[in-house]
Amino acid sequence: MGAISIRNVVKRYGFGPKGNQVIHGVSAEIADGEFVVVVGPSGCGKSTLLRMVAGLEEISGGEIAISGRVVNDVEPAQRDIAMVFQNYALYPHMSVFENMAYGLKIAKVPIDEIRRRVDKAAKILELGGLLERKPRELSGGQRQRVAMGRAIVRQPQVFLFDEPLSNLDAKLRAQTRLEIQKLHAELHVTSLFVTHDQVEAMTLAERMIVMNAGRMEQIGTPDDVYHAPATTFVAGFIGSPPMNLLRGRADGGRFSVGEQVLPLPASPPRRGDLVLGVRPEHLALGRGERPGWPMRVEALEMLGAERLVYGSVGGSLLTLRLDATVPPPKAGETIALDAPADHLHWFDATTHQRLRAADVALTA
């Protein structure tokens, strides 16, 4: 019913040599009832993509369909969508009830139906006791819930969220993420959620789209994106701290990083210039059973339940995550690291693409 189809969508501003293309042929299929998060750094085009789905930005090329209907030339009001923005955009002179009911009133929905929808949304969002208050009497989290309630009462086919949690503090963001999860579980409305915060993306998404410089780097479940990043950009963007990426040269069971030769637990997929990736939590302090990777410790961060150890291997920065129960090394010390074969990721040094079995077979 509310499926979204994005087919080779392009966005450019201007034409000729002064033209600036900001979206480069993005394609994605979002199923009815699915919650998809678009994540990426500032300026990557994620909000522009959302605004094109909403009809607030014209499409320069490609096609967008909602519920099987192509909406390239359809006005936003006719797309059966509801948006929740970063700024709450509440009318300060209206009560919570009036803010939530305003769109329905303009659409000439009967007053009894308006009351029923607002009461239902208020119950879902725990706003029942706040309906007579003005926005100035609410906290930031409560205002954002009112903004979501205003979208809910519309009963749209699609919800579009444009960084709705950015104005909240860390505690409220975590609480509101849970509320959005519960909201989606109850309403099961197709949702497209834009954020630059990878924690929001990982916790909210059924699938996520990782954007970079106007291009879609990867689409998949949070587990897929985290455990099998498609490119070095995804590997370095998703994860906190991000994946360690070491550029070097592979030769049999060895990998040279600068002047340092690292022994490998298994041979790399091919010889030559490669990028080796490994998550900080998948490295461990060496036990002396086999030669490890020598890392000179430069700094430590104590984070309660865990410790982050920063150092260098062959001149490249490396991060190690340790449980707080493990005695930490000291700054200036050189330690040996174990890297298990099943947690090593290999990327082409030129294309930055993940090396798959099929790619390796073609070059064998």
pLDDT on residue 357: 53
Q: pLDDT tens digits for 304-358?
A: 889 999 999 998 999 999 998 888 899 999 999 998 889 999 999 999 999 975 4
Reference 262, options 296, 291, 219; nearest CA is 291
Residue 288 pLDDT level (bands cut at 50, 70, 90): low
% of the chain residues with pLDDT over 90: 71
Query: Which domains can be identified in the chain, with CATH numbers?
Result: 4-230 (3.40.50.300), 241-363 (2.40.50.140)
Mean pLDDT estimate for the chain = 91
pLDDT one-digit tens code per residue, 181-220: 988 998 899 999 999 999 999 999 999 999 999 999 999 9
Highest mean pLDDT among 34-38, 75-79, 155-159, 355-359: 34-38
Residue 225: pLDDT above 60?
A: yes
At residue 32 the predicted structure's pLDDT band, cuts being 50, 70 and 90, is: very high
pTM for the full predicted model: 0.89
Compute the distance between CA of residue 18 and CA of residue 257 in angstroms, rounded to an integer. 41
Percentage helix, strand, coil, to 5, in the chain? 30, 35, 35
Average confidence (pLDDT) over 259-265: 90
Please give the pLDDT value at position 290: 64
**Which residues, including other chains, have CB under 8 Å from residue 10's CB and lie 6 or more apart?**
21, 23, 24, 25, 59, 60, 61, 62
Least confident range of 46-55, 173-182, 222-231: 173-182
- Condensed to tens digits (0 to 9), the pLDDT of residues 161-189 reads 999 888 888 888 888 898 899 889 988 99
Vertex 95 angle, CA 89 and 101, to 5°: 75
At 362 the pLDDT is: 36
Q: Identify the band that residue 361 occupies on the pLDDT scale cut at 50, 70 and 90.
A: very low
The HSE-up count of residue 278 (CA atoms within 13 Å, CB side) is 25
Closest CA to 39 of 171, 153, 170, 205: 205
pLDDT band for position 89 (50/70/90)?
Answer: confident
Helix (H, G, I), strand (E, B) or coil at 270: coil
Quick one: tokens of 89? 């955009």
* Percentage of residues in the chain having pLDDT higher than 70: 97
Sheet containing 284-285: which strands, arranged edge to edge? Answer: 284-285, 334-338, 293-302, 306-313, 316-323
